[in-house]
Structure 1
Amino acid sequence: MRIYSRPWLSNNSQPVETVFRLKGKWNLVSTFSDASSVPGIEVNIDEAGKTTVVTTTTVNARPLPLTLQRVDSSALSG
């Protein structure tokens, strides 16, 4: 059987969710310029205790460059 004769060849791509945790507090500074205009791309940032949880959703194996900035914890305590 050849790869191009497979029935799934013309199926739409499915969204893929990626979750990663960073020590400390982080803010999203930027994503690539057209991220908001591409359907299926999402970025969520949540705080969980002393960590930051970043969740991204992409389709079509599209890369999603992010710029994050660490929040200075000393500025928050004082």
Structure 2
Amino acid sequence: MSVYSRQWLTADPQPISSTVTVKGIWKLATPQLGVNIRYQNNNTLITTTTIQAIPITVYLIK
């Protein structure tokens, strides 16, 4: 079976979330669509949601 005959090849892209933990308390320099910030144990958890693995640049300030 060829990889090009698979159903997922023509399926609509799905949003994927990724979370990064940064030491300390940080906030977004400006609000960004698809970026969520939360705090836990003096750390900042940054969750991004993207479609088709499009990169996001996140600017943080202390």
TM over 0.5: yes
Q: Secondary structure at the match of 1:45?
A: strand
Aligned residues: 62
- Whether the 8 Å contact between 1:30 and 1:66 is mirrored in structure 2 is no
TM-score normalised by structure 2 residue count: 0.82
From 35, 49, 57, the counterpart of 1:57 = 49
- Report the Cα offset of residue 30 of structure 1: 4.0
Which consecutive residues of structure 1, in runs of 5 or more, have no partner in the other structure? 37-41, 72-78
Residues 14-65 of structure 1 show CA distances to partners (whole Å, capped at 9, x for unaligned) of 111101111101011147xxx64xxxxx110011121111111111111111
TM-score normalised by structure 1 residue count: 0.68
Counterparts of 1:1-78 in structure 2, within 5 Å, are 1-30=1-30, 36=33, 42-69=34-61, 71=62
Which consecutive residues of structure 2, in runs of 5 or more, have no partner in the other structure? none
Runs of 4+ in 1 over 3 A off after TM superposition: none
Rg (Cα) greater in structure: 1
Q: Which has the higher helix share?
A: 1
